[in-house]
Structure 1
């Protein structure tokens, strides 16, 4: 019997129903417990990064080439642009059954890792160009030696950090699948656990080494070496259809996110230069990292939900019409519950990380009640805005036929960097204006 078009339609509907039935059911408690451990790991990673940044800001390279501070959010943002996007794509692939076949699984992994190296190299170079331009505009000074060092440091850091984190990420996704844990809950925070620390340590080490010990041509050779590897990664990534598509169409969110993060870096550069606000450095990776981690979880979960329940271009009934903030948090759906859980994690999470910084005797601030209140208010506002933006953005992208796994997280984490840095700078400026002398802001 020859199958008819109607039979194909029924078979497709049955497959969709089967997929929906296989969607993991989670209680709010189970969801919170799965998110909590990787969230804390990611938080301690950002705390470590903040403490490292607090130390290396006094190194010669950071003192004399202050544009490196503009690079910091852009390179740390690669975690959101590339690592979290990879985690979200592979998490969705696991949940919808695309990684059940070993051959398909490894083709998907290798293609995505190669794509990520191409993007890391190009974005690292563009981030350096943005840092040079943003540093030159306010001061009107340009030094070629500084520009070459920024390019080589940025490209080398982006390449090495991206490769290390990509390998870790693949291990987490495959391990989650084998242990029955929903990778949407753990992959994106673990992607950030050591990402900030690894990236910042590599950037500081390479920048200081090139500044202090190398001849001028060495920086150029370092940059040229990593740039010359790009065609190889392009050939490998083009072998898999999914990564081949993104090789040509996936640049818009990554580059736009880099520009947004660089603006946050300019704010950080100007804030660090103000002696009254110098204490901001240790907290910047923390507030940026936590906000980015939480919104990446929500974005990944909404995307997986849409892949299960809706055809591309169609959105659930509750996502239709004009957006209003209550739509994100008020309701009994899985995405409403996850937004509520993530928002509830903000204050206790930041309190743990603030006290960790205090106990490690890092930073230049005392944890007075007014400092903690202002800081926590900034952190809550940042995450509240990000979760609302994520809800609207992911559904809008799905409605327009774009895959949110590849497009939403770079924008959201970059906005997290910009909002976090701006709100933190405003908070420190407010504390300085009201004369919160006990907090030793900028001491």
Structure 2
């Protein structure tokens, strides 16, 4: 019962954060756009939250580390579920486009429900702490991801960047999933071998040498190497799948594949280093990295992935123009 209560409290936090985020984010859009965002985000948060509770419970019963299962699923399925729910409800509400009273009514219902979700979340002390201090990562992550969205918006309509919309979710999703796993593993390591505010002796550098992160014999370094090299076969599988399904409007030429893989490895390498620095900083400040680091990292993965992919397309265009 306590586990189910904690899950419901966490679900209430996510609903309140989703509502506030989607009310704040689209202030430059029409009210109708806010309706789509609020409704779809709340539904996707609910569905994903229930799914994660089931995955974590099942992983523990099966003797599998939830860090290796739940974290990448949450990082990758979040975008997929949100896009699916957004498209479904946008189509549904489009049928009611003449009902001008509907958008303010639905938004008002969610705004009115937010205080009740906040009260429900306060029942658990650990969840209440997230409710108080968990807003900054959500807002900052939203801003960082929006910058990546602006890059995508500028490139997706350019004929020289055809296929950008197909490869962007792959680039961002793989990078975000891998660093989310690493952040959870480092956080679990710190919870096991140290206490908040105190870092182990070998992790006390504010800006660690990249060589120690990727080439030492420490357990976190070994996992960083594994995750870094996992990006290569993972992206090759996705590239083959895209080609098999005839997705995109760009041929998978040798220069494109090489630039794409180099961009993917550069993205993951940067993210793994930032993960180490960010988790250490948060642990030193007595902030739980499990709750606060992953939003920053996945948002940074979106920004870096989109920017590097745009650079990849531009280089291919320059080569073809020679």
TM-score under structure 1 length normalisation = 0.69
Q: CA deviation at 1:289?
A: 0.8
Q: Secondary structure at the match of 2:164?
A: helix
Q: Does 1:339 align with 2:224?
A: yes
Once residues 315 and 367 of structure 1 are traced to their aligned partners in structure 2, the CA distance between those partners, rounded to angstroms, is 46
Alignment of 1:303-382 (within 5 A): 303-321=187-205, 322-382=207-267
Unaligned runs of 5+ in 2: none
1:124 is matched with: 22
Identify the residue that residue 5 of structure 2 maps to in structure 1: 107
Q: Is the 8 A contact 1:149 1:210 kept in 2?
A: no
Q: Quick check: which has more Rg, 1 or 2? A: 1
Match of 1:282 among 122, 142, 166: 166
> Is 2:91 the counterpart of 1:218?
no
Deviation at 1:337, TM superposition (A): 1.1
Distance 1:291 1:180 in 2: 26
The 3-state SS of whatever aligns with 1:229 is helix
Offset at 1:208?
A: 4.2
What residue in structure 2 maps to residue 60 of structure 1?
A: none
Counterpart Cα distance in 1 of 2:182 and 2:235 = 18
Deviations 1:71-104 (A, max 9, x none): xxxxxxxxxxxxxxxxxxxxxxxxxxxxxxxx43
Please say if residues 149 and 207 of structure 1, whose CA atoms lie closer than 8 Å, have aligned partners that are also in contact: no
Moved over 4 A (4+): none
- Cα 1:193/1:289, change in 2 over 3 Å: closer
**8 Å contact from structure 2 (residues 75, 180) kept in 1:** no
Count of residues in correspondence between the two structures: 320
Alignment equivalent of 2:175, drawn from 279, 288, 291: 291
When structure 1 is superposed on structure 2, of 313-322 and 407-416 the one drifting more is 313-322
Check whether the contact 1:210–1:219 (CA below 8 A) recurs between aligned residues. Answer: no
Q: 1:155 to 1:196 in 2, by over 3 A?
A: same
Question: How much has 1:365 moved relative to structure 2?
Answer: 1.2
Distance 2:285 2:116 in 1: 33
Instruction: Confirm whether residue 203 of structure 1 aligns to residue 86 of structure 2.
Output: yes
Q: Distance in 1 between matches of 2:204 and 2:105?
A: 53
How much has 1:127 moved relative to structure 2?
A: 2.6
Cα distance, 1:209 vs structure 2:
4.2
Give me the whole-angstrom Cα distance separating, in 1, the residues matched to 2:281 and 2:75: 26
Task: List aligned pairs for 1:224-239, cutoff 5 A.
Answer: 224-239=108-123
Q: What's the CA shift for 1:395? A: 0.7
Deviation at 1:218, TM superposition (A): 2.3
Alpha-carbon distance between aligned partners in 1 of 2:88 and 2:58, rounded to the nearest angstrom: 31
Could you tell me the TM-score, scaled by structure 2's length?
0.95
RMSD: 1.7
Q: Is the 8 A contact 1:237 1:244 kept in 2?
A: yes
Change (3 A) 1:398 1:392: same
User: Distance between the aligned counterparts of 2:124 and 2:230, measured in 1?
Assistant: 38
Q: 1:429 to 1:182 in 2, by over 3 A?
A: same
- The runs of 5 or more residues in structure 1 that have no matched partner are 1-102, 133-145, 438-443
